[in-house]
Amino acid sequence: MTKRDYSLLGPDGKRAVDIGLAAAEWYHTDVPRKVMKDLMQRSDQPAIRDTVILYGCMIAFAAAGIALWPSLWSIPFWLAYGVLYGSASDSRWHEAGHGTAFKTPWMNNVVYEIASFMVMRNSATWRWSHARHHTDTYIVGRDPEIAIMRPPAFARLLLAFIGVPDVIAFFPRLVYNAFIGVHPTEKTFVPQSEWPKIVRVARISLAIYVATLALALWMRSILPLMVIGLPRMYGAWHFIMTGLLQHGGLADNVIDHRLNSRTVYMNPISRFIYWNMNYHVEHHMFPMVPYHALPALHAAIKHDLPRPNASIAEAFGEMWPALRRQLASEEYFLKRDLPATAKPYRMDFHEGALGQTPAE
């Protein structure tokens, strides 16, 4: 078997289109329309509450960190600020990008832009990359958001916990977008009408980083960077920890989210930071359900889903050995077992889509 080519312009992506694996119809659990309508209802209140708590805590922690700087007593406050800046921003970017966090559109847009800046993603580009992630989840050569490629690059995965690969990728692209324009890869999934936004967002972001760096140089202190920029590194660990679990070690090139996504029960603090995206099978199957309704959605459809992992630790205990096996065998993956109450996988369909002969 040839090695996977994750490039969006490569042969695997072309093959996925040719065999109908791209933009395919995916499996959905049957949910009565009235139940689903209730689950999809939007509300401002939960996200306003959570956003006030989030930004309030960030201001308080940053103020304490600045007040105690450069004492070691400031470290706990920076760690707390960092995880809210560098990790909670990922989930806010995600949910506000879907437009499901708030009922009021401008609230989604404001939180989306702030979160995109903090998590170092061009808000215009990534809105479209995430649409593709939902169209072609873990379809090799189509999904631009595959976090763990096969064979896994463990050094890169570990460095991701402190944001290194993302930051290294972000700044050259930021400069490219600001001064040259839209990258050819981005042109494969962003409509031409949106290209000016990519450039505008890049120039604004670059100006903020340059101003922060200039202030740091003027103060002869990294303190400004502790507030803007560096938290994307020292606070990224939580969103990497939860993000790797979303699809890590599971099947790729399938069109059933029960096979390629993972739901993990988590503690309340992680669920606040992660905005309930631990219900990841549910989110992918029904992306119009807001984060605050995902526990109810989970209760409604869990009879049709694989058993969730009981905790973050248990999920890592399952995923990490599978990733290690993928080092030796790129084709290895964790096959999810379904409960007796679930509808079966369409293995014949999956195998057919993969160009294999369906098993008898």
Partner 1 sequence: MPWIDACATTDIDAEDLIRFDHAGATYAIYHSPDGQFYATAGKCTHEDVHLSDGLVMDHLIECPKHNGQFDYRTGEAKRAPVCINLKTFKTKVEGARVYIEVS
> How far apart, in whole angstroms, are the C-alpha atoms of residue 332 and residue 65?
46
**Residue from the set 43, 104, 135, 185 that interacts with partner 1 by CB under 8 A:** 135
Enumerate the β-bridge partners of residue 334.
Answer: 250
- What part of residues 23-52 is at the interface with partner 1 (CB under 8 A)? 23, 25, 28, 33, 36-37, 40-42
> Is position 291 an interface residue for partner 1 (rule: CB under 8 A)?
no
Phi-psi region of 344 (alpha: psi -120 to 50; beta: other; left: phi over 0): beta
> Is position 131 an interface residue for partner 1 (rule: CB under 8 A)?
yes
> How far apart, in whole angstroms, are the C-alpha atoms of residue 275 and residue 150?
28
Q: DSSP characters for 248-296?
A: TTB--S-S-HHHH--BB---HHHHHHHTTTTBHHHHHH-TTS-GGGHHH
> Is position 307 an interface residue for partner 1 (rule: CB under 8 A)?
no
Whether residue 70 has a cis bond before it, omega within 30° of 0: yes
**Residue from the set 11, 20, 70, 105 that interacts with partner 1 by CB under 8 A:** 105
> Is position 145 an interface residue for partner 1 (rule: CB under 8 A)?
no
- Minimum Å gap between C-beta 256 and partner 1 is 15
> Is position 110 an interface residue for partner 1 (rule: CB under 8 A)?
no
- Minimum Å gap between C-beta 40 and partner 1 is 4
- What part of residues 72-101 is at the interface with partner 1 (CB under 8 A)? 98-100
Angle at 204 between CA 244 and CA 200, to 5 degrees: 90
> Is position 107 an interface residue for partner 1 (rule: CB under 8 A)?
no
Half-sphere exposure of 152 (CA within 13 A, CB side): 24
- Minimum Å gap between C-beta 283 and partner 1 is 12
Residues in the site for partner 1, rule: CB under 8 A? 23, 25, 28, 33, 36-37, 40-42, 98-100, 103, 105, 127-128, 131, 134-135, 191, 193-194, 286-288
